[in-house]
Amino acid sequence: MAVGRGSFSSRFAAIMALAGSAIGLGNIWRFPYMVGQHGGAAFILLYVFFCVFLSLPVFFAEGILGKTSRLNPLGALRAKAPKWSWAGYMGILAAFVITSYYSVVGGWSLDYFIRSISRGFHGMTMEESAAVFHSITATSWEVLAVFVGFLGLTALIVLAGVEKGIGGFSKVMMPLLFVMMLLIVVRSLSLPGAGEGLNYLLKPDFSKIDGPAIASALGQSFFSLSLGVGCVLTYCSYMPEDENLFATGMWTALFDTIFALLAGFAVMPAVFSVSGLEPGAGPSLVFETLPVVFTKMGGIVPVVFFLAVLVAALTSSISMFEVVVAWLIDEKGMRRGRAVLLVFLAALALGAVCALAPKVFSACDFATSNIFMTLGALVFVIVIGWVVPKSEPFKEFSSSPSGARLFPVFWFLLKWICPIAIAAIAVTNLL
């Protein structure tokens, strides 16, 4: 094992780190909106179905590559399936690009957390809140300052190593994140008019389950677990050799789904409680609508909410950053400090361009989400389902009695269903 690579200290640390990688800003704004737009509870059932029968098999495929090789995406594919090693380079490039532009959005969350502490949103109207968001994104010095601050926080956590940095941060902040979100749910549900928000989320409308709804549920279940880039692979390479990958994967998917539901119950009842507001999609929901909504609740609610947003953004950025660091440590023989500094400086350069040039930001987002992630996931399932000996994945499942019983189902899904589903996601995203 390369010098400075490290490992997670326990299953709990691994699960919290993997859950942190999966839980991001998309859980807070995208999932609640999609549930309401595509049939409420009917969409939730569809989403959970795809999580179990698509996302989990892909998660296990990527995790098996990491745990059995104990290497980064490039090293793992080179060891298991040399002809597919090009996908390792692609995954590392995708992780670097995502780190760069995602840190711009993370910078916004840092800015809003600071403003919430100083009561900067107190008494604002929707128009004034939208003007603040426009001012932040349009002012070069401010958007760069918070971007650098967020990227710097990410780098410092990764610099502390796998056990003390990533694992230590995840073990403390992920449970805290769930507690914070649960508190907001309780407060949100106590507001007048919250029932309309609950209906938005939970009233099943099966007439809305059409082609776009199915595609949305399929895509959301896939991207929710951060599949296809190498985050799962890299984190699983830090798991103890005797760790039960099956149990870890099941807990990770469960926590990710629970958090997405909590986010829905925290956000939508609060939005509907304020007259004249409509649930919108995209960053505008978090950075324009919700400052007004949560400020009206009073107390520390805005601070708690934007701290939760910041933590969710950090846990995702850390996992992407670590993919590139692991590659530099494994393949280039760098020590962690030098690798972190190099990734920080490179991401600083690309991220600054993304912060100042919206077209570059959009291009990076489109390429990674619609091409790199889906293609990477397709390679992972092909390698595990068709290239490596069946005994390798079976060994990881057989360490658990329930895993051994479910292995035939996993194997069938991985070989035949997942490649078709991933191809469908890719085609849908590109149309």
What number of CA atoms fall less than 13 Å from residue 119's CA on the CB side?
Answer: 7
- Pick from 377, 341, 339, 346: which is nearest to 96 by CA? 346
Give me the pLDDT at residue 123, please. 83
Sign of the alpha-carbon dihedral angle for 181, 268, 107, 430: positive
Do the beta carbons of residue 324 and residue 200 sit within 8 Å? no
Cα angle 278, 312, 192; round to 5: 35
- How many whole angstroms separate alpha carbon 425 and alpha carbon 324? 26
Do the beta carbons of residue 33 and residue 264 sit within 8 Å? no
Distance of CA 408 to the CA centre of its chain: 28
What number of CA atoms fall less than 13 Å from residue 272's CA on the CB side?
Answer: 22
pLDDT by 10s per residue, the chain, length 431: 455 578 999 999 999 999 999 999 889 888 988 888 898 999 999 999 999 999 999 999 999 999 999 999 999 999 999 999 999 999 999 999 999 999 999 999 999 999 999 988 888 888 898 899 998 888 899 999 999 999 999 999 999 999 999 999 999 999 999 999 999 999 999 998 899 889 888 889 999 999 999 999 998 999 889 999 999 999 999 998 889 999 999 999 999 999 999 999 998 898 888 766 666 555 677 888 889 888 888 789 999 999 999 999 999 999 999 999 999 999 999 999 999 999 999 999 999 999 999 999 999 999 999 999 999 999 999 999 999 999 999 999 998 899 999 999 999 999 999 999 999 999 988 87
Give me the pLDDT at residue 281, please. 52
Query: CA torsion, points 378, 379, 383, 387, in degrees to nearest 10?
Result: 100
Q: Hey, how many other C-beta atoms are within 10 angstroms of the C-beta on 52?
A: 16
Buried b (16+ CB within 10 A) or exposed e, 245-278: bbebbbbbbebbbebbbbbbbbbbbbbbbbeebe
- How many whole angstroms separate alpha carbon 231 and alpha carbon 252? 13
Give me the pLDDT at residue 273, please. 86
Give me the pLDDT at residue 1, please. 47
